[in-house]
Amino acid sequence: MDVTLLLILLFIGAVATYFSGNAIASKVALFFSVAALGVSLALLNQFSQGTDISFSAQWIKNPNVLFALKADGLSIAMVLLTTALTPLIVLSGFGNNFNNAKNFYALVLFMAFAMIGTFLASDGFVYYIFWELSLIPIYFIALIWGNGDAEARKKAVIKFFIYTFAGSLFMLAAFIYLYQKAGTFKWDVLVGLDLSATEQFWIFLAFFLAYAIKIPLIPFHTWQANVYQKAPTIGTMLLSGIMLKMGLYSVLRWQLPLAPNAAKELQYIIIGLALAGVVYGSIVALKQKDLKKLLAYSSLAHVGLIAAGCYAMNMDGLRGAVLQMIAHGFVIVGLFFAAEVIYRRYETRTISEMGGIRQQTPKFASMFMILVLASVALPGTFNFVGEFTVLYSLSTENMVFAVIGGTTIILGAFYMLRMFQHAMLGETNAKMFADVTVSEGIVFVAIIGFLLFFGLYPKPIIELITPSIQEILVHVK
Amino acid sequence: METSLVLLLLLAPFVGFLSNVFLGKQFGRTGSGVLGTLAVVASFIATVIFFMQVNSTKEAINIHLFDWIAMGKFSIGFDILLDQLSLLWLMFVTGIGALIHLYSISYMHDDENTHKFFSYLNLFVFFMIMLVAGSNLLIMFIGWEGVGLCSYLLIGFWYKNQDYNDAAKKAFIMNRIGDLGFLIGIFIIGYLFNTLDFVALKQAILAGNGTANLALIGTAALCLFIGASGKSAQIPLYTWLPDAMAGPTPVSALIHAATMVTAGIFMITRLNFLFELAPDVKMIIAVVGVFTALVAAAIGLVQNDIKKVLAYSTVSQLGLMFLALGLGAYEVAVFHVITHAFFKACLFLGSGSVIHALHGEQDMRNMGGLRKAMPVTFITMLISTLAISGIFPFAGFWSKDEILLTAFHGNTVLWVLGSIASIMTAFYMFRLMFLTFFGEFRGTEEQKHHLHESPALITVPLIVLAVLAAIGGAINLPGNNWLNHYLAPLFKGHEAHHLDNTAYMLMGIATVGALIGIGIAYSMYISKKQVPEADDKVQGLHKVLANKFYLDEIYMAVIVKPIYALAKFSRDYIEKGLSNIVFGFGTVADGLALQGKKMQNGNIGFYLFAFVFGLCSIVYYLFFVR
Amino acid sequence: MGEIIFYALAAVTLGTALLTIFSRNPIHSALSLVVCFFSIAGHYLLLNAQFLAIVHIIVYSGAIMILMLFTIMLMNLNKDDESHKPIAAKIAATIAFCLVGLVLLAGLLRTKPVVESYYYSGEDFQSIKVLGKVLLNEYMVPFEFASVLLLVAMIGAVLISKKDKEKSLK
Amino acid sequence: METILKEIGVETYLYLSALLFSIGVFGILLRRNAIVMFMSIEIMLNAVNMMLVAFSTYHQDASGQVFVFFSMAVAAAEVAVGLAILVSIFRNHGSVDIDNLKNLKG
């Protein structure tokens, strides 16, 4: 058994969902996503027993492209993040009625397929294909099933598409250049190349543009808030929960090992940019009226911190970044789902039109509260483990970084609690708020359970990712 | 055996929390209260057992539960350290905690969310135990943030009132400002010593490893102190504590008087070996402490809300404790923490009893003459008031006197300021007593009709605490110094002061000062029967004090408003601007296309000319350039 | 002798070419061009390419120019009705003329060293017989393609110049 | 058989054809009558043909002449189609003045 099984399963799932009826599409998609989760857990089991679950075969002779999928701890962790979130994301759609549900869920599964491919690919060409492939489903999901004015949505989504696509083109150029030098796209060979300082500089910048737009770092983030707001919540979850992590993962997997010297050269500038994103995102989030937009900016702040950890380029930074990626993936999905749960009942995303929900559904309020607390990295949640590690790594680089990055502790609490107060507390709302349904409850409980368990016992994940991070660090140093 | 007992100590309140969250409604209001109380009592019993053991063996108990976070150069275990200091703290955390739980059964009986209240209280105790018993800085930080969370939840317990929610949010965020300092301190310590474990840290410092960079150690100590000042409400982060009185009164007693706010003192005491390396920071601590004591006492002089008076009194007393810490007299600070926990908890619970009797009335101008209606409350509060004022032989006398004695030996200016603060304490506390319990009742007829002594569940904790407030000083009487000996393993040979003439003189001065304060209060509120004026009539210094030196307004104008303005500006302009830059690329491409379109003007002559020109260029290149 | 004939022919060629482009009347242009083509055929003869000279006369002077004359007459363009081009176009045309001339001449001047080394071996390479062999052996496929091309051009010309039926009905 | 090249050299032919080509360019830019422009194109084509023939003789290689042969075939085809197009344009517009034909304008 190797990792191709996972890809095949998800692809078949997407096709099967497409050919199933609209009525059962969500269930078919759920079945396949759960199956994918099971397979990925089985793969994890094999991997931890030392079995090699990588896959490699010649795909194209000229240019020399290998269909190479490499599963190390880091990839498996990201794959598990995807396969664990996909069922939850599919399940979270159970409360919505989508037109052409079969197309919708097929796209969701297809997106999971492409993202897993991105996480696994160890051949630059294959990686690039999966990277761009993941853009297509989310484009249609946001465009067709999004909300709000159709013209504004179209504008936002097309901007997103062109923006990210344009950024990726530079990455493609960098890959082609590397191919010229190496005669192959294979990761192992590419990272072993001996590149001059100038070459590294340009390659770093080319990759940086692609990733800075995807992650996003300021000032490349302008697509984010609008798309998050306009996309259907499932699309937002896919984007914020997993797709952002593609950019961060790629920084670790491709950018840093390929151009380590350039990365060191530009380290302070980029960490500065990332941390500016932390502060800026937090401050902009303070005055957002739309709940989804607020969460989008909070996401901007959090990924800024993760990116800073990546570019700190030491053990703690990278490890903390990976932990925080996973933690943030879960918590942001939970938070967007909470926004969706409110929307289903109140038909609004404007915070000032909510309020007083806690009295009506104490259960939902408690779960939302825990997610908010996880998002502000309260110790005991998984987010704290990641955030602490990242901040510590920054402090070993430069204490000023840690202080600036640490403002997220204060500002994050500021905007999240402010939002929570106005959305959930206060006098009982006149509008009816039905209690959470079973499917909604499962999503929340699964996410919260994950965050709390690994908050206290992150050791399995740390042990899973550490060897591969060490391998990356070997190339970086 | 030890491990399971530790688990009992740690998890009993957590189990109480869980069962109250999930099953609290089924238990009923009393049931959930009893459950919560029993959970804390279980912890208390476990603590007592450990206390006896450690007291006899003199050896700390260190238990490794599991590995938590692995860092690059060190790993952080989920470890519990039960030594003299943490057990002492646990004793009064769980002990007073149990009493306050008991009290709350009656106090919160009429609330619709009683089970939630108890679950939060249990959770608080759980986190407080973590804070105290954690064997490294990060476990302590879990507890540290956790108690902040519980404080947030309990201040905003009546969440329908947005003012209360604001107070809760303010408390949480101001705490977090301190927490950032704490975290930075942790980072520096980890960076310098490659460990966060207290025992290892102490060994490293005593062995002189990693202590070369004194400036960095000083920074770490300062950052940790910022953390402490956030949690323990010192200048400039104290403004959340008076607002925190929005929570139910037992919460104020437990969290905002007896336990959580002393976490800062605990942390500094815990890391005393580190602070000893940073004398400058110690000086800062002492100065901040004494100024906090003064400022808070001054504000306390004119407050009319009974709980606000107590809140400022707490801030002021905490300031005195920090003064002691800054002077290196850690055991003195610990002593005052303990006595303060007794009498301040008693005072808060007493004020709760009064508020309960008056159906939520908190303004002292509408009280008076309650002495006859509520004798038990009156007596217990009187004892505690005498204790806090530093009247012989109550507990506060001994501890406060030791602080002042230390200050006198350390720095006379600090002593003078500390003494002034303590005279003011005597004044405003007796002002509170006189306004509340003496004279005529000034409330409505309806309230007067319902005046009653509180039930036993309320009075019993009061009596217990009052007794402790009366005799609590016995744990560290001069000459006996049990506490000093008990804590001796923690500190680097700090000699207790001998009872010499100076000491007697200072005791005399302190007592006389306290009596002067009481006398002024007596003459104003008993002899002249003054009642504080309405808020809008006060003037001059009085007005400044009544408005708390306008500190909240200043913070609002200097910090919060600019951040909001920046947020609005960013949202409305910077975001749009950045977005327009991105769209700008599109616009430029569009414009170029338009220009290019113009070139396709359909004029064949022009095309041909361009063609010929291109041809010439190619030929030129082929023949002349290459 | 040959030199004189060459220069006379060259003068005729250039002169009629200039006449072609400067004549107001398209008919005059066409007639000048016919003369021009004949002089070019003379050049071919000078260069010993008799077959090409004949083909040239047949194709150009015969077929193409007749076709053009017919077209001109069909369009009734034999009167001088062409309005003047703007002065800018004239300047542009002059500039282009100078530019092309300059570049080409300058380019060709540079090739002089190679060009000078002419010698004549006396081998027969351009008689009809040889050309026929080359054409139908070496250039067999292009030759066939050329015939296809002509066929297609014929069909295309007929189709394009056919009257649009619907339009004529209107 | 002796050729003219012995006397004047191939370069003279090159100058001649270059000048002829330039005249063609001149004409095509100067005139706006599509038919005269056509004639200019023919002049240019012939300039090139002439050069090809000159070189063919110079190198004593038949290929150059074969090429001219093909070039003539193409020219014939071009003229046929081009004139057909012109006729069709004339029918629709009533003139062959290229300044009136601006449908290509973007």
CB-nearest to A283 from B116, B156, B567 is B567
pLDDT tens by residue, chain C, 170 residues: 788 889 999 999 999 999 998 888 888 889 999 999 999 999 998 888 888 899 999 998 888 888 888 888 888 765 555 566 678 878 888 888 888 888 888 887 777 666 566 676 767 777 888 888 888 888 999 999 999 999 999 999 888 888 766 555 54
Rounded Cα gap, residues D36 and D17, in angstroms: 19
CB-nearest to A389 from B67, B69, B173 is B69
| Interval A118-133 mean pLDDT | 93
Rounded Cα gap, residues B375 and B357, in angstroms: 12
pLDDT tens by residue, B359-403: 888 888 888 788 888 888 888 999 999 988 888 888 888 888 888
Q: Which chains touch A (3 or more CB pairs under 8 A)?
A: B
CA-based nearest distance B179→chain A, Å:
8
D86 in a domain, yes or no? yes
Rounded Cα gap, residues C44 and C49, in angstroms: 5
**C146/B contact by beta carbon, under 8 A:** no
A207 in a domain, yes or no? no
Let me know if A42 is exposed, middle or buried by CB neighbors in 10 A (0-12, 13-18, 19+).
middle
Distance of CA B468 to the CA centre of its chain: 23
DSSP code for A146: -
When scoring B129, B138, B145, B161 by the number of chain A Cβ atoms within 10 A, the one with the most, hence best to mutate, is B145
CA-based nearest distance B581→chain D, Å:
28
Q: What tokens does B376 get?
A: 């038990």
| Interval A90-117 mean pLDDT | 91
Does the pLDDT at position D5 exceed 80? no
Residue of D nearest to C22 (CA): D27
pLDDT tens by residue, D6-61: 778 788 888 899 999 999 999 888 888 888 888 999 999 999 999 999 888 888 88
CA-based nearest distance B54→chain A, Å:
28
When scoring B603, B611, B620 by the number of chain C Cβ atoms within 10 A, the one with the most, hence best to mutate, is B620
Rounded Cα gap, residues A366 and A452, in angstroms: 14
Enumerate residues 6+ apart whose C-beta is below 8 A from A405. Answer: A275, A278, A305, A308, A390, A391, A394
pLDDT tens by residue, B278-291: 889 999 999 999 99
Chains D and A touch (3+ CB pairs under 8 A): no
D residues 50-69 closer than 8 Å to C (CB): 50, 53-54, 56-58, 60-63, 65-66, 68-69
β-sheet bridge partners, residue B23: none
8 Å CB contact between C125 and C49: no
In the prediction, which pLDDT does C81 show?
A: 57
pLDDT tens by residue, B583-596: 888 889 889 988 88
Structural domain harbouring C75? 1-82
What 3-state DSSP class applies to C1?
A: coil
Q: Residue C16 is part of a domain; what is its CATH number?
A: 1.20.120.1200
Q: What tokens does B351 get?
A: 């004020």
Rounded Cα gap, residues D48 and D24, in angstroms: 11
8 Å CB contact between B310 and B351: yes
Dihedral angle sign, alpha carbons of residues B209, B211, B213, B218: positive
DSSP code for A67: E
Q: Above pLDDT 90, what percent of chain B?
A: 22
Q: What tokens does A367 get?
A: 């779960």
Q: Above pLDDT 70, what percent of chain A?
A: 100
Dihedral angle sign, alpha carbons of residues B209, B213, B215, B220: negative
Number of domains composing chain C? 1
CB-nearest to C153 from D65, D81, D87 is D81
CA-based nearest distance D5→chain C, Å:
7
8 Å CB contact between A178 and A132: no
Lowest mean pLDDT among A450-464, B592-606, C55-69: B592-606
In the prediction, which pLDDT does C165 show?
A: 63
Q: What tokens does A429 get?
A: 């709302």
CA-based nearest distance D81→chain B, Å:
19
In the prediction, which pLDDT does C170 show?
A: 47
pLDDT tens by residue, B515-555: 888 898 888 888 877 777 777 777 777 778 777 788 888 88
Q: Which chains touch B (3 or more CB pairs under 8 A)?
A: A, C, D
- Please give the backbone phi and psi of residue C128, each rounded to the nearest 5 degrees, phi first: -55, -40
Enumerate residues 6+ apart whose C-beta is below 8 A from B523. Answer: none
D103 in a domain, yes or no? no
Question: What number of CA atoms fall less than 13 Å from residue D89's CA on the CB side?
Answer: 19
pLDDT tens by residue, B175-205: 999 999 999 999 999 888 888 898 888 888 8
* Residue found under tokens 């290149």: B621
CB-nearest to B609 from C92, C103, C106 is C92
Number of domains composing chain A? 1
When scoring C95, C115, C150 by the number of chain D Cβ atoms within 10 A, the one with the most, hence best to mutate, is C115
Rounded Cα gap, residues B578 and B599, in angstroms: 32
Q: Do D18 and C112 touch (CB under 8 A)?
A: no
CB-nearest to A421 from B70, B169, B575 is B169
Residue of C nearest to B611 (CA): C96
Residue of B nearest to C99 (CA): B616
pLDDT tens by residue, A190-240: 988 888 999 999 999 999 999 999 989 888 888 998 899 999 999 999 999
C32 in a domain, yes or no? yes
Does the pLDDT at position B72 exceed 90? no
Q: Do C82 and D76 touch (CB under 8 A)?
A: no
pLDDT tens by residue, B497-508: 666 778 888 888
> Which chain C positions have a beta carbon within 8 Å of B612's beta carbon?
96, 99-100
Distance of CA D12 to the CA centre of its chain: 19
8 Å CB contact between A178 and A190: yes
Structural domain harbouring A285? 259-476
Rounded Cα gap, residues A308 and A401, in angstroms: 9
Rounded Cα gap, residues A115 and A102, in angstroms: 20
When scoring D21, D37, D38, D104 by the number of chain B Cβ atoms within 10 A, the one with the most, hence best to mutate, is D104
Q: Which of A217, A206, A315 is nearest to A269 (CA)?
A: A217
CB-nearest to D27 from C20, C101, C161 is C20
What does pLDDT average to over chain B?
Answer: 87
Does the pLDDT at position B494 exceed 70? no
Number of domains composing chain D? 1
D104 in a domain, yes or no? no
A68 in a domain, yes or no? no
D51 in a domain, yes or no? yes
Flag whether the pTM goes above 0.80.
yes
Q: Which chains touch C (3 or more CB pairs under 8 A)?
A: B, D
Helices (H) and strands (E) in chain A, counts: 22, 2
pLDDT tens by residue, A16-74: 999 998 888 999 999 999 999 999 999 999 998 888 888 889 988 888 899 999 888 89
CA-based nearest distance D57→chain C, Å:
6
C115 in a domain, yes or no? no
Distance of CA D38 to the CA centre of its chain: 8
Q: Do B612 and C110 touch (CB under 8 A)?
A: no
When scoring C83, C99, C105 by the number of chain B Cβ atoms within 10 A, the one with the most, hence best to mutate, is C99
**C92/B contact by beta carbon, under 8 A:** yes
In the prediction, which pLDDT does B496 show?
A: 58
A99 in a domain, yes or no? no
Q: Residue D9 is part of a domain; what is its CATH number?
A: 1.10.287.3510
Rounded Cα gap, residues B381 and B461, in angstroms: 12
pLDDT tens by residue, B424-480: 999 989 988 888 888 888 878 877 777 888 888 888 889 999 998 888 888 888 777
> How long is chain A?
477
| Interval D68-76 mean pLDDT | 91
Rounded Cα gap, residues B439 and B420, in angstroms: 28
In the prediction, which pLDDT does C112 show?
A: 65
Q: Do A222 and B156 touch (CB under 8 A)?
A: no
